[in-house]
Amino acid sequence: MADQITKRSENYSQWYSDLVVKADLAEQSSVRGCMVIKPYGYAIWEKMQRTLDDMFKATGVQNAYFPLFIPKSFFSKEAEHVAGFAKECAVVTHHRLMNDPGGKGVVVDPEAKLEEELIVRPTSETIIWSTYKNWIKSWRDLPILCNQWANVVRWEMRTRLFLRTAEFLWQEGHTAHATAQEAMEETERMVNVYADFARNYMAIPVIVGHKSPNERFAGALDTMTIEAMMQDGKALQAGTSHFLGQNFAKSFDVKFANKEGQLEYVWATSWGVSTRLMGALVMAHGDDNGLVLPPALAPIQVVMVPIYKTDEERSAIIAKMEEFKKALEAKGHSVKIDDRDTLRPGFKFAEWELKGVPVRMAMGPRDLAAGTVEVARRDNMTKTTVPLEGLEHSVEDLLADIQKGIYEKALAFRASNVEKCDDWEEFKAKIGTGKFLLCHWDGTAETEQKIKDETKATIRCIPVDSFVCEEEGKDIYSGKPSKQRVVFAIAY
């Protein structure tokens, strides 16, 4: 099966596209730019969703749901916001179809034009803040900590499965606070939830930092981000958290009476991650044999493959496997016995390698008689013979070791591809080779744009962790004074 996938060294982009399809994660749909997430891919997304949902709720967040359609006039109320999304909006203008009198099939009924056009949700700040106006009257109503799991539409012209599609799934948190300090603390709290999830569940070593003004979310005063390095050295923005100030509260006239009875505008945040995380998971860990899934997010953590010649052997081996399946499931692990009798063991091995199952066990009559089982690790493709006695404990330890090993491998890869750079010619030579370059920046949007125009590199973040970047220096491009380094990279 792996021979159906382009090698990473030959064409990384094609490798990614092949792997997403061949591993049964997703496929193109009949709607341009939209994808079908297949059951195996959706099972991974569900694990992400459940984990994140629990993490959100641990901070006091509650789930809600808001409309898919947003009145066009709402977008006009926040100028910077509408400018940021205008080119990506899908617009509903009519509400009814009719049979064409000219015999050309079904057409839009011209009599069914909407009084006001509706935007198909690209993000929900406007519709939510128009709602919060009804919910917030007094300081006692604050804070509001809401999240919604939803789909959004951003009419992308160039699409790639999971990374950039016209419709995708995500969560978007929207919170309202009495003070700027509370809102800023929420912004930071949620970006750190994302970082925790990326590091401890996705096994991806992300950098937490602030976006430069050019890269901020439309309508935000500050955007915090987690940035991940993929195996081609490019950056992927994996999640963002925004301090919106009072911009949306002012646009929708959302005020509250403070403890002194005076009216003030509410302070806001929003934060989100999407099915783009699925792309990150593939690109950060996959190899030429297929997916490599961290056990924390693998839909199947352990697959057992029986090897037999007779029905009697089959029954005895599967009975023993059922024992261990129950024992492992009692410890919270997901286990599958692949007892399909229409496929050879070698084909099954290749299929589960392709799908990234962390641990594979194979057992034949000799193993059963010897009281052992062959255990294969997906992350490093090694095999060992393990005693059946205490197997559930050794497998549990093995899963923990695999989770740790996948993270450490990704961290080592990042460490070997991050460099300080102080020379513009060196910058131009290295940035396209798959590097994160830590460079001085003079803080101006003009310099940032010129660097992007000449190299396609952007400031991924002004880091707050991972690297010590506060030091005096000169801007890599302009030569003007700089107080710190920032992370430059070419991004997806």
Give residue-wise pLDDT tens across range 203-212: 999 999 999 9
pLDDT(156) > 90: no
Nearest to 328 by CA among 397, 398, 402, 392: 392
pLDDT(10) > 80: yes
Contacts of 451 (CB under 8 A, 6+ apart): 457, 458, 476, 477, 488
Q: Which residues of 281-305 are buried (b: 16+ CB within 10 A; e: fewer)?
A: bbbbbbbebbbbbbbbbbbbbbbbb
Characterize the bridge pairing of strands 62-63 and 470-474: unpaired
Give residue-wise pLDDT tens across range 400-411: 999 999 999 999
Do 464 and 458 form a contact (C-beta atoms < 8 A)? no
Give residue-wise pLDDT tens across range 114-123: 999 999 999 9
Residue 78 has what pLDDT? 79
Give residue-wise pLDDT tens across range 241-262: 999 999 999 999 999 999 999 9
Nearest to 235 by CA among 459, 422, 476: 459
Q: Residue 1: pLDDT band by 50, 70, 90 thresholds?
A: low
Three-class secondary structure of residue 280 per DSSP: helix
Nearest to 242 by CA among 298, 186, 194: 186
Cα 91 to Cα 70: distance, rounded to the nearest angstrom = 9
156/317: higher pLDDT: 317
Give residue-wise pLDDT tens across range 321-358: 999 999 999 999 999 999 999 999 999 999 999 999 99
Nearest to 204 by CA among 226, 182, 184: 226
Give residue-wise pLDDT tens across range 39-87: 999 999 999 999 999 999 999 999 999 999 999 999 888 777 877 788 8
Structure token digits, residue 267: 């302070």
pLDDT(141) > 80: yes
Which one-letter DSSP state was computed for residue 38? P
Cα 169 to Cα 161: distance, rounded to the nearest angstrom = 12
Domains and CATH numbers, the chain: 2-91+123-285 (3.30.930.10), 302-398 (3.40.50.800), 418-489 (3.30.110.30)
Average pLDDT over residues 159-180: 97
Percent over 90 (pLDDT), the chain: 93
What pTM was estimated for this model as a whole?
0.95
Structure token digits, residue 337: 């016995």
Q: Residue 192: pLDDT band by 50, 70, 90 thresholds?
A: very high
Nearest to 36 by CA among 15, 21, 19, 18: 21
Average pLDDT over the chain reads 96
